[in-house]
């Protein structure tokens, strides 16, 4: 099993998207990329912790590749909006790939460059590609939020 960590706005929708992928055996909504130890949702929403709402996906690379997970990541959000996805605004909603090893780093960079070359977006892709650091699970009520509350998110 391997891990992949992505931030693409509100973690509810990101988690729901990766939960649908065959080969992803577990997802966890949480916070990463900041400087506060063990932050809460309230802390992260303040915008002062530096953390992003993110999803850590544990996957079986014999079923789904990291490249396939990257393709899904690029499709589920707008990587050209800085610190914003839909109605959610703030650095905690930034677009970021948190790589766990050099192979993931290279694949993430290559996929970003390939996306930029497609001309799919008229604006620059602002997705950060940074080393994974500590990942703090979000509170239980955030885990699989959309599965527990279908129709609760309008975007």
- pTM of this prediction exceeds 0.85: yes
pLDDT in tens, 72-131: 999 999 999 999 998 899 999 999 999 999 999 999 999 999 999 999 999 999 999 999
Mean pLDDT, to the nearest integer, of 137-155? 82
DSSP per-residue letters across 100-148:
SSHHHHHHHHHHHHHHHHHT--SSPP--EEEE---EEEPPGGGTTHHHH
Tell me what pLDDT residue 150 has.
74
Residue ranges covered by each domain of the chain: 2-148
Q: Which fold has domain 2-148?
A: 3.30.1060
Catalytic site positions: 10
Please state, for a pLDDT cut of 70, what percent of the chain lies above it.
97
């Amino acid at each position: 099993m391997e891990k992949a960590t992505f931030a693409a706005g509100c973690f509810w929708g990101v988690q729901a998207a990766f939960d649908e992928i065959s080969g992803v055996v577990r997802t966890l909504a949480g916070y990463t990329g900041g400087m506060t130890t063990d932050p809460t949702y309230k802390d992260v929403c303040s915008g002062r912790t530096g953390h992003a709402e993110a999803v850590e996906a544990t996957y079986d690379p014999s079923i789904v590749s990291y490249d396939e997970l990257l393709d899904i990541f690029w499709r589920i959000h707008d990587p050209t909006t800085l610190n914003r996805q839909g109605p959610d605004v703030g650095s905690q909603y930034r677009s970021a790939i948190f790589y766990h090893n050099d192979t993931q780093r290279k694949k993430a960079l290559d996929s970003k460059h390939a996306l930029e070359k497609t001309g799919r977006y008229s604006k620059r892709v602002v997705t950060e590609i940074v080393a994974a650091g500590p990942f703090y699970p979000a509170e239980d009520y955030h885990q699989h939020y959309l599965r527990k509350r279908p129709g609760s998110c309008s975007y």
